[in-house]
Amino acid sequence: MASLADELQQLFQQFSGQLEAAANEQAVRKVYADFGGANGAIRLKQKELIKSAPNDQKRVIGQATNEILQNVEAAFNAALGRLASQAEARELARSVDVTLPGRAHRLGHLHPITLARREIEAIFAQLGFTVAVGPQVETDFHNFEALAMPKDHPARDMQDTFYVAGAEGAAGEGADVVLRTHTSPVQIRTMLARKPPVRVIMPGTVYRRDDDATHSPMFNQVEGLCVDEGITFADLKGVLLHFARRFFGEEIGVRLRPSFFPFTEPSAEIDFSHGTCKGRGCRTCKNSGWIEIGGAGMVDPEVFRHVGYDSEKYTGFAFGWGIDRMAMLKYGVDNINAFFEGDVRFARQFR
Ligand code: DAH
């Protein structure tokens, strides 16, 4: 009997030692399982002892070992209780200064180019124009050929572009895939996909090998196209004037100067009177009182031929300009690169 008590006592001591060392609930539960659980050391010992004891001793042994198991159980519960009250004490000791100012989350906002693009789209939407977009990596056919700029046409030189290695693997001058130089190819895609009447506004990013304070190799344009029976140059001017007044202000005037584009005939440069100096002339508008905005004209029958429109039946006008230019004028920004540098101090001014 003495050795039985010793053995159990030893196990209990081991258990107590490990329980004390257990730093968290998981560890406490593991120690309990190792000793007092169904397959724990003490319970196994109990079974073994009872089994090997003579019949008249089994009861006494059972009672003695049960007592130990009760102690194990009690120590286990006490350990859990201790952990719980320690956690509670820690929570209570945590101090919160409710008088500290809160940390505000900074809300994002739209980029000035996006603001300008959306406003342009909204103004044209009221005139019945829908928005269309096309790919930035474009075929030579859509970007040049169908716009009456065949391979050797001198007008291509004004739009020196980035050539992309195409299916044949060739990049460089003469390749058939380019980063689009303007949004005009979306006119072609739109007309190839739909029959007249067509009234679309086509915003998008374009690429050219240009880089200075007023030119970025990547910039944004918006293109307009209106094709129907009986569309005239007067419709073009009316639409442009309406837009200029809505976008820049009622006092703005529009001037169309004769020009040349391969895909329009006749063609014009669009000037808006300079809102900042109220047309009086200043450094920005080179003392003319007018700001060059973009190009426009009546769609050339050659373009209609490429998209399968009947130029005897339909006429149309088209125009295109830089959204970034528009935003620069509207928000008084003098370097186009400011839009693309990603400096939040700049962008934040347009909330
Ligand atoms: N695509 C021309 C450019 O980027 C601008 C332009 C001129 C667009 C006349 C037009 C247009 O739609 O009719 O230089």
* pLDDT band per the 50, 70, 90 thresholds, residue 215: confident
At 245-291, the pLDDT tens digits run: 999 999 999 999 999 999 999 999 999 998 778 778 887 788 888 98
Write down which residue in 46, 61, 93 finishes a domain.
93
| Residue 330: CATH number of its domain | 3.30.930.10
Nearest to 336 by CA among 188, 116, 128: 116
Evaluate whether 249 touches 289 at the Cβ level (below 8 Å). Answer: no
Q: Quick check: CB of 279 below 6 Å from ligand 1?
A: no
Of all protein residues, the one whose alpha carbon is nearest to atom 12 of ligand 1 is 319
Q: Based on the domain organization, do 48 and 121 belong to the same domain? A: no
Q: Are strands 290-299 and 198-207 parallel, antiparallel or unpaired?
A: unpaired
Write down which residue in 93, 128, 163 finishes a domain.
93
Say how many Å lie between the CA of residue 178 and the centre of ligand 1: 17
Q: Based on the domain organization, do 130 and 86 belong to the same domain? A: no
Ligand 1 atom nearest to CA at 297: 13
> Distance between CA 177 and CA 218 in Å, rounded?
17
Evaluate whether 209 touches 173 at the Cβ level (below 8 Å). Answer: no
Give how far Cα 45 sits from Cα of 56, 64, 85, Å: 18, 12, 33
When pLDDT is averaged across residues 185-201 and rounded to a whole number, the result is 97
Q: Are strands 218-228 and 163-164 parallel, antiparallel or unpaired?
A: unpaired
Indicate whether 171 pLDDT > 70. no
Q: Quick check: CB of 201 below 6 Å from ligand 1?
A: no
Q: Based on the domain organization, do 128 and 87 belong to the same domain? A: no
Q: Quick check: CB of 295 below 6 Å from ligand 1?
A: yes
Q: Based on the domain organization, do 70 and 210 belong to the same domain? A: no
Instruction: Tell me how crowded residue 25 is: count the other CB atoms within 10 A of its CB.
Output: 13
192 phi/psi in degrees, rounded to 5: -65, -25
At 234-243, the pLDDT tens digits run: 999 999 999 9
Q: Quick check: CB of 184 below 6 Å from ligand 1?
A: yes
Q: Quick check: CB of 296 below 6 Å from ligand 1?
A: yes
> Distance between CA 335 and CA 236 in Å, rounded?
30
Ligand 1 atom nearest to CA at 317: 13
Q: Based on the domain organization, do 87 and 118 belong to the same domain? A: no
> Distance between CA 243 and CA 253 in Å, rounded?
10
Identify whether 101 is part of a domain.
no
Structure tokens given for 132: 């269309």
Q: Based on the domain organization, do 141 and 270 belong to the same domain? A: yes
224 phi/psi in degrees, rounded to 5: -125, 150
Per-residue confidence (pLDDT) for residue 145, from 0 to 100: 93
Instruction: Tell me how crowded residue 200 is: count the other CB atoms within 10 A of its CB.
Output: 22
Q: Residue-wise over 63-87: b if at least 16 C-beta within 10 A, else e?
A: eebeebbeebeebbeebeeebeeee
Q: Based on the domain organization, do 304 and 253 belong to the same domain? A: yes
Domain that holds residue 166: 112-347
Q: Based on the domain organization, do 193 and 308 belong to the same domain? A: yes
Rg (CA), the chain: 41
Q: Based on the domain organization, do 186 and 269 belong to the same domain? A: yes
Identify whether 99 is part of a domain.
no
Q: Based on the domain organization, do 20 and 50 belong to the same domain? A: yes
Q: Based on the domain organization, do 192 and 145 belong to the same domain? A: yes
Coil/strand/helix, residue 350: helix
Say how many Å lie between the CA of residue 35 and the centre of ligand 1: 86
> Distance between CA 184 and CA 143 in Å, rounded?
7
Identify whether 103 is part of a domain.
no
Of all protein residues, the one whose alpha carbon is nearest to atom 7 of ligand 1 is 295
> Distance between CA 110 and CA 139 in Å, rounded?
31
Say how many Å lie between the CA of residue 258 and the centre of ligand 1: 13
Of all protein residues, the one whose alpha carbon is nearest to atom 8 of ligand 1 is 320
At 6-29, the pLDDT tens digits run: 888 899 999 999 999 999 999 999
Identify whether 104 is part of a domain.
no
Identify whether 105 is part of a domain.
no
Coil/strand/helix, residue 204: strand
